[in-house]
Amino acid sequence: MIGVTLLGQMSVDGAVRLGAADLGGVKPRQLLELLALEHGHPVPKEALADRLWEQRPPSGCITTLESYVCLLRRKLRLPAGRHSAIATSHGGYLLDPEHVRVDLDDVRRLLEGDAASVLQGLDRIPGDLLADEPYASWAEEARTSFADLLATSCTRAAREANAAGDHATAVRLATEATRRATFSEPALRELMRGLVGIGDRTAALRAYEEMRSRVAVDLGLDVDAETRSLFLDTLQQDRSTGRDCDRAEASALVRLLRSTLDSNPEVLTGMPGSLALVRALRALPATG
């Protein structure tokens, strides 16, 4: 069995262990990476050439591509033909899953599971996908798709963790989700709920204000009604629980509230706004 690592620094473990610099050059390495991204699926030679040469394949590119496959097989001590780990298919090539394991596939499977499985998946990501390919457009597309998958999986798992009362796990998962999807309000809401659950209301409100500001500046929009409603619920929490906040927290809350109202004075519109604000302020001790 050959193991191909795409997360972090690229490497191949088989009869020999080879790093990214040991595969015969940039294009042969990229060819192996492209096949690994489509692990188990045949990829036509023309499609591989288009990606390798960024939609501008040179004359004779198919012959060159075939020579790269021969080079990779030699480097990895593999036979030729349909039964090779780098198998010949009709008009193309594929990495045979019976002979090749790709770390990206393992992580994807974990991300489909429960919160504990998603955490295991995160622990198996040592670095960016295809870190050796910072400029190739196909690599950037793969990174974007993987980031979307991470954000979706982490948000779902954070929601499950919050529902189970495991707020610390929810915070870790939702933090990762907001890092991967910087405008994701579902991820923000799970982060806020988790932070409140571990007793850090100030951090929850700060996370809201950072997202609200980012959405306003970068997109020219406001956060949606569900997110604003959670913000107000979080502001009023001390009154409903009977908990007193300390002076440092009170000062931070006042600053956050003023910042929010200065930039969006209508944040309370359509809700029991003035009452919510009065209750929130009354929950704070004097800070003079």
Per-residue pLDDT tens for 8-29? 999 999 888 999 999 999 999 9
Q: How many CA atoms lie within 13 A of 97 on its CB side?
A: 10
pLDDT the model gives residue 178:
98
CA-to-CA dists, residue 137 to 27, 45, 141, 208, 246, angstroms: 14, 18, 6, 33, 51
Helix ranges (DSSP H) in the chain = 26-37, 45-52, 61-76, 103-111, 115-123, 137-163, 167-180, 185-197, 201-214, 225-235, 237-241, 247-263, 273-282
Reading the block at residue 162, the tokens are 């919050």
Instruction: Reply yes or no on whether the pLDDT at 51 is more than 90.
Output: yes
Percentage of residues in the chain having pLDDT higher than 70: 82
- Check: CB of residue 5 under 8 Å from CB of residue 11: yes
- Check: CB of residue 96 under 8 Å from CB of residue 85: yes
d(C-alpha 75, C-alpha 277), whole Å: 68
Q: Which pLDDT band holds residue 262 (cuts at 50, 70, 90)?
A: low
Reading the block at residue 281, the tokens are 């302020």
Nearest alpha carbon to residue 201 among 179, 160, 176, 232: 232
Per-residue pLDDT tens for 153-183? 999 999 999 999 999 999 999 999 999 999 9
pLDDT the model gives residue 250:
63
Nearest alpha carbon to residue 118 among 78, 93, 151, 148: 151
Domain spans of the chain, in order of start: 2-102, 112-197, 199-288
The 10 Å Cβ neighbour count of residue 145 is 12
> In the predicted model, what is the mean pLDDT of residues 184-209?
96
Q: Which pLDDT band holds residue 256 (cuts at 50, 70, 90)?
A: low
Per-residue pLDDT tens for 92-141? 999 999 999 999 999 999 999 999 999 999 999 999 999 999 999 999 99
pLDDT the model gives residue 237:
74
pLDDT the model gives residue 235:
81
CATH architecture of the domain covering 2-102: Orthogonal Bundle (1.10)
- Check: CB of residue 49 under 8 Å from CB of residue 62: yes
Per-residue pLDDT tens for 28-47? 999 999 999 999 999 999 99
Average pLDDT, the chain: 89
Quote the pTM value.
0.84
Instruction: Reply yes or no on whether the pLDDT at 228 is more than 80.
Output: yes
Q: What's the alpha-carbon Rg for the chain, to the nearest Å?
A: 25
Instruction: Reply yes or no on whether the pLDDT at 7 is more than 50.
Output: yes
